[in-house]
Amino acid sequence: MVCLDMLLANDEEEVVVNVIKLKNIKIKMGCLFMKSDSEIILKISALTKSVQLEDKTLELLQPIDLTVNSGETLAIVGSSGSGKTTLLSILAGLDLPTSGEVYLKNHPLHQFNEEQRSQVRANHVGFIFQQFLLISSLTALENVMLPAELANLPDAKELGLALLEQVGLAERAEHYPSQLSGGEQQRVAIARAFITKPDVLFADEPTGNLDTKTGIHIADLLFELNEKLDTTLILVTHDPKLAMRCQRQVEMDSGVLQEKYTQTKSTNEFIADMKVG
Amino acid sequence: MSELTVKSSPAWFKQSLRLLHHEFRRGELTIIFLAIVLAVGTVFSLTGFTEQIKQAIMSNSANTIAADRVFGANRKIPVEFLEKSEDLSLKLASKILIDSMVFAGDNMLLSELDAVSDSYPLRGKFMGKTSLSQTPVSIETIKRGTAWVEESVLARLDVKIGGTVEVGVLPLTIAGVITEIPDRSYRMFVAGPAIFLNIEDIADTDLIQPGSRVYYQYLFAGEQDNVETFEKWLKPQLNDTQNWYDAKSAQSRLSNVLDRSEKFLSLASMLGIVLAAVAVAVASRRYGQRHQPMVAVFKALGASKSHVQKLYMLHWGLLSLISICVGLVVGYLLMLVGVSAIENYLSLDESQLSFNPFFTAIITGVLCAVAFAIHPITELISTKPLDVIRGFSQNVLPKFGWHQLIPLLALFALLMLFSRDLMMSLSLLLGGILVSVILLFLGRLIMGAGRTAGSKAGKSWHLALANLKRRANENSVQLVSFTIAIQLLLLITVMKSSIIEEWQSQFPENTPNHYLLNITADEVQPLKAFAEELNIDNQGFYSIFLGRLSAINNEKTISIEDDSANNERDTADKDENKEEKPKGRKGAGRELSLTWQSQLPIENEIVEGKWWQEHDDTPQVSMESGMAERLEVKLGDKLTFTIGSDEFTVPVTSIRDVNWKSRQLNFIMIFNQTAIKNIESTSISAWMVPDEKKKQVYRFLSDYPTISIMDFGSIMKQLMNMIDQVSIAIELILVLVILAGSLVLVAQVQASMEERERELAILRTLGAKGSLLRNSVLFEFIALGGVAGLMASIAMEIAVYFLQTQVFEMTASFHFSYWLVGIGAGAAFVGIMGMLSCWRLLNLSSVTLIRRTM
Ligand SMILES: Nc1ncnc2c1ncn2[C@@H]1O[C@H](COP(=O)(O)OP(=O)(O)OP(=O)(O)O)[C@@H](O)[C@H]1O
Ligand SMILES: [Mg+2]
Residues B30-88 pLDDT 10s: 888 988 898 898 888 878 877 776 666 555 444 567 888 889 888 888 899 999 999 99
Q: Which ligand is nearest to the CA of A60?
A: 1
Q: How far is CA B827 from CA B447, B448, B486, in A?
A: 14, 18, 10
CB A247 within 8 A of CB A13: yes
Is B302's CB within 8 Å of A182's CB? no
CB A73 within 8 A of CB A59: no
CB B749 within 8 A of CB B837: yes
ipTM: 0.77
Amino acid making up residue B528: K
Residues B495-509 pLDDT 10s: 667 666 665 665 555
Is the predicted pLDDT of residue B591 greater than 80, yes or no?
Answer: no
Is B18's CB within 8 Å of A122's CB? no
Q: Strands, E, within A22-131: which ranges?
A: 40-52, 57-69, 73-78, 99-104, 107-108, 125-128
| Cβ contacts of B559-566, under 8 Å, gap ≥ 24 | B559/B239, B559/B240, B559/B587, B559/B589, B559/B590, B560/B586, B560/B587, B560/B589, B561/B589, B562/B588, B562/B589, B562/B590, B563/B809, B565/B589, B565/B590
- Domain-by-domain residue ranges, chain B? 23-74+241-420, 92-211, 436-509+711-854, 537-688
CA–CA separation, A190 vs A222, rounded Å?
A: 7
Q: How confident is the model at residue A13, as a pLDDT?
A: 41
Average pLDDT, chain B: 77
> Residue A118's closest chain B neighbor by CA?
B302
Q: Report whether the peptide linkage leading into residue B121 is cis, meaning its omega lies within 30 degrees of zero.
A: yes
Q: How confident is the model at residue B725, as a pLDDT?
A: 59
Between the CA of B686 and the centroid of ligand 2 the distance, in Å, is 93
Ligand 1 atom with minimal separation from the A89 CA: 18
Q: How confident is the model at residue A98, as a pLDDT?
A: 93
Residues A187-230 pLDDT 10s: 899 999 999 889 999 998 888 877 888 888 888 988 988 888 88
- Domain-by-domain residue ranges, chain A? 4-276
Of B455 and A47, the structure prediction assigns the larger pLDDT to A47
CB B82 within 8 A of CB B132: no
Of B294 and B436, the structure prediction assigns the larger pLDDT to B294
CA–CA separation, B220 vs B226, rounded Å?
A: 10
CA–CA separation, B281 vs B408, rounded Å?
A: 11
CA–CA separation, B430 vs B788, rounded Å?
A: 21
Cα–Cα nearest to B66, from B246, B228, B215: B246
Flag whether residue A60 sits within 8 Å of chain B, measured between CB atoms: no
CA–CA separation, B374 vs B407, rounded Å?
A: 9
Report CA torsion sign: B114, B117, B122, B124: positive
How is chain A split among helix, strand and coil, in percent rounded to 5? 45, 25, 30
Among the residue ranges A28-32, A111-115, B180-184, the one predicted with the least confidence is A28-32
Of A241 and B421, the structure prediction assigns the larger pLDDT to A241
Is the predicted pLDDT of residue B294 greater than 80, yes or no?
Answer: yes
Q: Is A51 in the pocket of ligand 1 (CB under 6 A)?
A: yes
Residues A221-235 pLDDT 10s: 889 888 888 899 999
Is A152's CB within 8 Å of B5's CB? yes
Between the CA of A80 and the centroid of ligand 2 the distance, in Å, is 7
Residues B772-796 pLDDT 10s: 777 777 888 888 888 888 888 887 8
CB-based neighbours (< 5 A) of ligand 2, an ion: A 85
Q: How many Cα atoms within 13 Å fall on the side-chain side of residue B558? A: 15
Cα–Cα nearest to B125, from B112, B114, B113, B136: B136
Among the residue ranges A94-103, B367-376, B514-523, the one predicted with the least confidence is B514-523
Query: What CATH code would you report for A4-276?
Result: 3.40.50.300
Is the predicted pLDDT of residue A7 greater than 80, yes or no?
Answer: no
